[in-house]
Chain A
Amino acid sequence: MLRMLHAVAALLALALVPAAQAAQKEREVSIGLQAAITSIDPHYHNLSPNNSLLLHIFEPLVKRDANQKMIPGLATSWRAIDDLTWEFKLRKGVKFHDGTPFTAEDVVATYKRVPNVPNSPSSFATFTKPIVETRIVDPYTIIFKTAAPHVLLPSDLGSVYIVPKAIAEKATTEDFNSGKAAIGTGPYKFVEYVPNQRVVMKANYGYWGGEEPWDKVTFKILTNAAARVAALLSGDVQMIETVPTSDIAKLSSDKNFNLADKVSNRVIYVHLNQRDDKTVPFVTAKDGKPLDRNPFKDVRVRKALSMAINREAIADRIMEKKAVPAAQLLPDFFYGTSKKLKPPKYDPEGAKKLLAEAGYPNGFAMTIHGTNNRYINDDKIAQAIAQFYSRAGIDAKVETMPSSVYFTRATKGDFGYMILGWGTESGEQGSSLRSLLATYDPAKGMGVTNRARYSNPEFDKVLNDALVTMDDKKREAQIQHAAEIVMNDVGLIPIHYEVSTWATVKGLKYTPRTDQYTLATELKPTGK
């Protein structure tokens, strides 16, 4: 059904019609979002669409630029005094929307609230937990102590939005949703929240960061891609996020619209189940008999599976060029990425040779599992990969399913070859290597999303050293080294980085971001 809707979205854009005159009042703008906002409470649900939207109202100590580099937010500077001590200098002269001045007390109270939000389905406590002791030196200087060296503290605190002390101490999630407690320091003030429908904001004229181009911003939740495109075409909204790939060509040739795109922090990758030495689910000999061992344990097989994929073709044909072939977990302008790593070259013959060396001259049979409603064109990617494998002598079947079913089973280890996606919100590769590829040890937070249970002691050692190195330059070199080890060992198979797209009406320009956030603060009139 949804797929048919996508097809019709293409039809819609095909229609050679001028966009209806934007019923756009001066300094008012409507933006079509693709996902629901689940709460206005900034500490209730650690979810990308929420974090993006709430950044208009609230702010963290550390903000990020369009490439996710850390920049001063409510803190003007920060430094590590020693391995276990951090000092943050806070911005002076900042006022909350209710007029109370922002001080260190608010930061302390906010961090105290974070782990105690009732019924939170995904807590922000992960970010504040490393802090074991807090000391207020003066109203604009604050010291945090951690139990172990924690180099990512500034980055982590960049995810926690500050609320006034009085609100942090008392307000419930309902108070935020109703607007009573939706008070931050951000460039926009809360006006209205209707779940699954819209969020309305108005400008905060006293904002410390200067004046914004909009008086009023309305975010409309338009989860259906065809409806989102139709809303833009008819002038009901002036910008949409996540333009369906099938509509991109039409919109970009239409003079009435501007497109903006940027490679994102989300990589689409394959995990190869290595939980068991002997067997692996859904992988057999071609005649259906079980194999004598788990082929994914052999680096030659993993290499072969990686080089048998034509990444260029997937990016060009399936993704309509809105993807960039991947060599690691983040595009190589991010912190901790290695410029030495290049996407493996497409080489089906080489793959066959490697498979033969590994003892599979005739290949084997397997089922590729993936989602069909989570990532851009996810089911088509799975089918394309299966076809590339048949050229390398592997019989591959495809089974895709909705993410509500898929992730539970993937986490249980039900699949052998699984296609997944990962967005790096911290903007540095160390945290992703740690979640996806470190040896599984959930108690220590290592390899928590390592669904393959891949394990490489050499890589673990380099990564663990990196994670406690306080010096930024030195740490970056260590993370790069760790990435090179694990990518050369094919700990996972990177496919591509998704490119996110935005479309605006003529006269507006959006500055795209790697974190896929849609921010009214980045939407500017181009001038008359």
Chain B
Amino acid sequence: MLAFTIRRLGQSLLVLLVMSFLVFLGVYAIGNPVELLVNPQADAIERARATAALGLDKPMLEQYWVFLSRAAHGDLGRSFVFNIPAIQLILDKLPATLELAFCAMVIAVTIGIPLGLVAGLKPNSFIGRAIMAGSIFGFSLPSFWVGLVLIMVFSVQLGWLPPNGRGETVMLLGIPVSFLTLDGLRHIAMPAVNLALFKLSLLVRLTRGSTREAVLQDYVKFARAKGLSQRRVVGVHVLKNILIPIVTVIGLELGSVIAFAIITESIFAWPGSGKLLIDSINQLDRPVIVAYLLVIVTIFIGINFVVDVLYSVLDPRVRLGAAAAAH
């Protein structure tokens, strides 16, 4: 376990280093942020001053070196646009995104897995077919469209839910969260459902497929033959065995929901970090882009680690040390 963790950590640092360099290079190649930031009427002196103030007067590699040496001290630079430390800007926005992502995943898991089980156990019944048909909609309707329709129905037409923003927040362990207030719940409902829809459909299909495969397995037949209750057969023998691929997918999807909830965030003006990333790319605000991706990669690495640990919990045959050695 310890060796596994250390090896993982080393790999992760390498990933972070390579990624930061690629992003640095990429943003450098897109364009010059001074062109977008400086007032167009500014003269040459002002342009030179702004370029120097942002540290852009140095060669690319030197700029990267400066970034690295500061990063080693925990300073990921200041936003060109806001003059606020990039990491602070991101951490201010991240709780909102995490909250939205977790709410969406909770919705997707609590609805998706049971529906998938039902559809997998009764594939030819009306309800099984209806669930599968519904999941096709969840898959194929573009999320920005669904978001706008939700706003149109629930905010504009019915006037039940607010169309944008985060609403009232309360502090939970020093982090502002909105799901503990009624106003906050009203605000998060639509974006969370919007974001959950695709993941929900994915989980329905995945669970259904695995379930259908599992019910044909000998051990399930044997459990049935033994006279175990349906509940125990499904809950223990089927569900536990199909959970490994589902946990993998949930882990991967959670990462992508956190990193790329951008469309939902911009439609509902949800003050999360995805919107921050897009705005920063449009402004070529390199410190924010680099810091954001570093944070996201770190989150991905963390989630993958948790998923690996969960494997060993779910399936005693998986040993982390052995898994790492095999790689």
Q: Does chain B have a CB within 8 A of A253?
A: no
Q: Quick check: which of A82-90, A190-198, A486-494, A505-513 contacts chain B, the rest being far away?
A: A190-198
Within 8 A of B (CB), among A437-478: 442-445, 448-449
> How far is the CB of A108 from the nearest CB of chain B, in Å?
22
Q: Could you say which of A220, A221, A222, A448 contacts B43, with CB atoms under 8 Å apart?
A: A448
Within 8 A of B (CB), among A402-420: 402-409, 411
Q: Quick check: which of A7-15, A330-338, A519-527 contacts chain B, the rest being far away?
A: A7-15
On whether the beta carbons of B282 and A402 are closer than 8 Å, the reply is yes
Q: Which residue of B lies closest to A423 (CB)?
A: B40
Given contacts A121-B53, A126-B43, A223-B266, contact A12 B31 (CB under 8 A): no
CA distance A8 to B145 in the complex (A): 7
Q: Does chain B have a CB within 8 A of A387?
A: no
Given contacts A122-B38, A230-B148, A448-B44, contact A15 B156 (CB under 8 A): yes
CA distance A223 to B270 in the complex (A): 11
On whether the beta carbons of B44 and A1 are closer than 8 Å, the reply is no
> How far is the CB of B275 from the nearest CB of chain A, in Å?
7
On whether the beta carbons of B37 and A45 are closer than 8 Å, the reply is yes
Q: Which chain A residues border B283 with CB–CB below 8 Å?
A: 404
CA distance A514 to B18 in the complex (A): 48
CA distance A461 to B94 in the complex (A): 56
Q: Could you say which of B35, B162, B263 contacts A408, with CB atoms under 8 Å apart?
A: B35
**Interface size for chain B: under 10, 10 to 19, 20 to 34, or 35 or more residues?**
35 or more
> How far is the CB of B265 from the nearest CB of chain A, in Å?
10
Main SS class of interface, B: helix
Q: Which chain B residues border A17 with CB–CB below 8 Å?
A: 152, 156-157
On whether the beta carbons of A119 and B53 are closer than 8 Å, the reply is yes
On whether the beta carbons of A230 and B44 are closer than 8 Å, the reply is no
1/0 per residue, CB under 8 A from A, across B39-72: the answer is 1111111110110011000000000000000000
Q: Does chain A have a CB within 8 A of B144?
A: yes
> How far is the CB of A244 from the nearest CB of chain B, in Å?
13
Q: Could you say which of A5, A39, A411 contacts B82, with CB atoms under 8 Å apart?
A: A39
Q: Does chain B have a CB within 8 A of A24?
A: no
On whether the beta carbons of A234 and B38 are closer than 8 Å, the reply is no
On whether the beta carbons of B282 and A236 are closer than 8 Å, the reply is no
On whether the beta carbons of B42 and A126 are closer than 8 Å, the reply is yes
> How far is the CB of A258 from the nearest CB of chain B, in Å?
18
Q: Which chain B residues border A21 with CB–CB below 8 Å?
A: 159
Q: Which chain B residues border A77 with CB–CB below 8 Å?
A: none
Q: Does chain B have a CB within 8 A of A44?
A: yes
CA distance A406 to B284 in the complex (A): 12
Q: Does chain B have a CB within 8 A of A166?
A: no
Q: Does chain B have a CB within 8 A of A125?
A: yes
Q: Could you say which of B36, B81, B148 contacts A403, with CB atoms under 8 Å apart?
A: B36
> How far is the CB of A470 from the nearest CB of chain B, in Å?
21
Given contacts A196-B279, A448-B43, contact A408 B32 (CB under 8 A): yes
Within 8 A of B (CB), among A371-426: 373, 402-409, 411, 422, 425
Q: Which residue of A lies closest to B92 (CB)?
A: A195
On whether the beta carbons of A404 and B281 are closer than 8 Å, the reply is yes
Q: Does chain B have a CB within 8 A of A204?
A: no
On whether the beta carbons of B44 and A442 are closer than 8 Å, the reply is yes
On whether the beta carbons of A373 and B30 are closer than 8 Å, the reply is no
On whether the beta carbons of A236 and B148 are closer than 8 Å, the reply is no
On whether the beta carbons of B42 and A197 are closer than 8 Å, the reply is no
Question: How many chain A residues touch the partner (CB < 8 A)?
Answer: 68
> How far is the CB of B246 from the nearest CB of chain A, in Å?
30
Q: Could you say which of A39, A195, A408, A442 contacts B31, with CB atoms under 8 Å apart?
A: A408
On whether the beta carbons of A407 and B37 are closer than 8 Å, the reply is no
Q: Could you say which of B35, B41, B78, B144 contacts A4, with CB atoms under 8 Å apart?
A: B144
On whether the beta carbons of B30 and A404 are closer than 8 Å, the reply is yes
Within 8 A of A (CB), among B278-298: 279, 281-284
On whether the beta carbons of A443 and B157 are closer than 8 Å, the reply is no
Q: Which chain A residues border B271 with CB–CB below 8 Å?
A: 194, 196-197
CA distance A222 to B275 in the complex (A): 11
Q: Could you say which of B43, B151, B165 contacts A445, with CB atoms under 8 Å apart?
A: B43
1/0 per residue, CB under 8 A from B, across A256-284: the answer is 00000000000000000000000000000
Q: Which residue of A lies closest to B51 (CB)?
A: A121
Q: Does chain B have a CB within 8 A of A226?
A: yes
Q: Which residue of A lies closest to B161 (CB)?
A: A234
CA distance A5 to B145 in the complex (A): 8
Q: Does chain A have a CB within 8 A of B91?
A: no
Within 8 A of B (CB), among A73-97: none
Q: Does chain B have a CB within 8 A of A177?
A: yes
Q: Does chain B have a CB within 8 A of A227?
A: yes
Q: Does chain A have a CB within 8 A of B188?
A: no
Q: Does chain B have a CB within 8 A of A120?
A: yes
CA distance A236 to B154 in the complex (A): 13
Q: Does chain A have a CB within 8 A of B34?
A: yes
Within 8 A of A (CB), among B132-173: 142, 144-145, 148, 151-152, 155-157, 159, 162-165
Q: Which residue of A lies closest to B41 (CB)?
A: A435
Q: Does chain A have a CB within 8 A of B267?
A: yes
Q: Which chain B residues border A233 with CB–CB below 8 Å?
A: 155-156
1/0 per residue, CB under 8 A from B, across A115-143: the answer is 00011111101100000000000000000
On whether the beta carbons of B89 and A119 are closer than 8 Å, the reply is no
Q: Does chain B have a CB within 8 A of A146?
A: no
Q: Which residue of A lies closest to B42 (CB)?
A: A126
CA distance A121 to B81 in the complex (A): 7
Best-surrounded residue of B44, B268, B281 (most CB of chain A within 10 A): B44
CA distance A404 to B289 in the complex (A): 14
Q: Which chain B residues border A220 with CB–CB below 8 Å?
A: 164-165, 269
Q: Does chain A have a CB within 8 A of B276?
A: yes
Q: Could you say which of A36, A121, A445 contacts B37, with CB atoms under 8 Å apart?
A: A121
On whether the beta carbons of B151 and A230 are closer than 8 Å, the reply is yes
Q: Which chain A residues border B162 with CB–CB below 8 Å?
A: 234, 236
On whether the beta carbons of A39 and B83 are closer than 8 Å, the reply is yes
On whether the beta carbons of A196 and B41 are closer than 8 Å, the reply is no
Q: Does chain B have a CB within 8 A of A291?
A: no
Within 8 A of A (CB), among B2-50: 30-47, 49-50
1/0 per residue, CB under 8 A from A, across B83-124: the answer is 110000100110000000000000000000000000000000
Q: Which chain B residues border A15 with CB–CB below 8 Å?
A: 152, 156-157
On whether the beta carbons of B148 and A12 are closer than 8 Å, the reply is yes
Best-surrounded residue of B44, B164, B266, B284 (most CB of chain A within 10 A): B164
Q: Does chain A have a CB within 8 A of B198?
A: no
Q: Does chain B have a CB within 8 A of A231?
A: yes
Q: Could you say which of B35, B43, B80, B263 contacts A411, with CB atoms under 8 Å apart?
A: B35
Given contacts A443-B44, A448-B41, contact A38 B81 (CB under 8 A): yes
Q: Does chain B have a CB within 8 A of A20?
A: yes
User: Which 10 pairs of residues, A with B, have the shortest CB-CB distance?
Assistant: A442-B44, A408-B31, A20-B159, A121-B37, A445-B43, A234-B155, A407-B35, A46-B39, A197-B271, A408-B32
- Apart from A17-B152, A408-B31, A443-B43: 20 A-B pairs, beta carbons within 8 A: A5-B144, A20-B156, A36-B279, A45-B37, A118-B53, A118-B83, A122-B38, A122-B39, A122-B46, A123-B46, A173-B83, A174-B83, A195-B92, A224-B267, A226-B267, A404-B30, A404-B36, A407-B31, A435-B40, A448-B44
Which positions in A face B, CB cutoff 8 Å? Answer: 1, 4-5, 8, 11-12, 15, 17, 19-21, 36, 38-39, 41, 44-47, 118-123, 125-126, 173-174, 177, 194-198, 220-224, 226-227, 230-231, 233-236, 373, 402-409, 411, 422, 425, 431, 435, 442-445, 448-449
Q: List 22 A-B contacts (CB under 8 A).
A: A4-B142, A12-B151, A15-B152, A45-B37, A118-B53, A119-B54, A121-B37, A122-B39, A126-B42, A196-B93, A196-B271, A196-B276, A220-B165, A227-B163, A231-B269, A234-B162, A403-B36, A408-B32, A411-B35, A443-B45, A448-B42, A448-B43
